[in-house]
Amino acid sequence: MRGRTCVITGANAGLGYESTRALAHQGGEIVMICRSGERGEKARASIISETGNPDIHLLIADLSSQEDVRQAARIINNRWGKVDVLMNNAAMVLSKRILNDDGIEMQFAVNHISHFLLTHCLLPSLVSSPHARVINVSSRNHWFGKIHFGNLTLKGTYQLLIAYAQSKLANVLFTNELDRQLHAHGIDHVVTHCIDPGRNLTDIGLKHTNRLHTWVWKLRRKKAQHPAEGARTQIYVATSPDISHLSGQYWVNMNPDVSAPQSHDPDAARKLWQISEVMCGIEDYFRPPSGTIIEPTVKPEAPAEMA
C-alpha cells in the first residue's frame, strides 16, 4: 500500500482500528476520521508505535454533523488531493430515537448519510487516483431492513434493530447506485464495494444502548470473532490486486456473496439517492462543493501492485 492514501471512518475502535492497523503495516498513508480526539490520538499512537509507520493522521469529525463531514473532506482534498481507498466504516446503534441537528434519525445520519456526503465531497480526490476503491461496511442485518420512505425517522415505530437494519440496507443500496452512477459518468477507475464483516467482539452495542440492549449485545458477542478476524474482508477488498476489475460487489468472508433481494431494487436505490441528496443539500452529486465538475479526465493507469 506504499504511496496509497486511505481514509477510514471510525478508525479508533473495532473493525476500523484493525483495518487501520493492517493498512499501516502494509505501508499505506492513513487518514483516520474519529469523533473523539482523545480516543483517536490513543489509537493513532498505538498504531504508529506497533507498525513503525509514521504516516498515520487523525482528523476529528462527528459524522452526525454534515458540517464536520464537509470540513474533514475539505482538509483531505486540500492536503492530500488523492484518495486511493475510502473505507466508510463508522456506525452507531442507539436504543433511543434521537434526531440530529438536521432532523435526521441518528443511525440513518451517521451510518448512511455521513458516508453518502463524504464520498460526494471526496470525489475530486478519488478521481485523482489511478484506481480508487470506496468500501461501505454494511451488515448481515440489512437482510431484515426496509427503507421507510414515508417515515425515515421512524416516528412512532422506532426500534434499535429496525433503524439499524434500515441504515445498513441503505449502505448496500448506496453501493449499488454509486456503482451505476460511476459507470454512467464514465468513471470506471473508481470502484465501490460493500462488506458484511460478520459478528465481531466490539463495543458497538454498548455505547448508546439501554440495559436490555447492552445485555443482549454482551450475550450475542460471546459467539463473536475478534475484530482482527472480522476486518479481513474489508482489508482484502481495500488491498487485493486480484479484484481490481470488480465493482459493485457484496463481500462476505473475503468472497463475493449475495445481498438481500430488497438491496437489488433499482427504484429504491434511486429514490434513496435522491432523498439523500436533498438531505445533504446536494444539487448534483458529481459536482462536489469545490465547484469541480467530475469528469473522467484522469487517464486510468493499470493499478500498481498493491500489498
**Positions in the binding site for ligand NAP (CB under 6 A):** 10, 12-16, 34-36, 39, 62-64, 89-92, 110, 137, 139, 197, 199-200, 202-204, 207, 224, 227
Is-contact 176 192, C-beta < 8 A?
Answer: no
Nearer to ligand NAP, 64 or 259 (CB): 64
Question: In the structure grid, which three cell numbers stand for residue 214, read together?
Answer: 447492552
53 CB-contact burial (10 Å; exposed 0-12 / middle 13-18 / buried 19+): buried
| Cβ-proximal residue to ligand NAP, closest one | 14
Residues recognised as catalytic: 164
Is-contact 65 41, C-beta < 8 A?
Answer: no
Is-contact 44 17, C-beta < 8 A?
Answer: no
Question: In the structure grid, which three cell numbers stand for residue 247, read together?
Answer: 465493482
Nearer to ligand NAP, 91 or 172 (CB): 91
Nearer to ligand NAP, 16 or 28 (CB): 16
In the complex, what is the shortest distance from the CB of residue 299 to ligand NAP, in angstroms, rounded to a whole number?
34
In the complex, what is the shortest distance from the CB of residue 202 to ligand NAP, in angstroms, rounded to a whole number?
3
In the complex, what is the shortest distance from the CB of residue 178 to ligand NAP, in angstroms, rounded to a whole number?
16
Is-contact 14 204, C-beta < 8 A?
Answer: yes
Give backbone dihedrals phi and psi of 157, rounded to 5 degrees, phi first: -125, 10
Nearer to ligand NAP, 128 or 276 (CB): 276
In the complex, what is the shortest distance from the CB of residue 39 to ligand NAP, in angstroms, rounded to a whole number?
5
Give dist(CA 118, CA 5) in Å, integer: 15
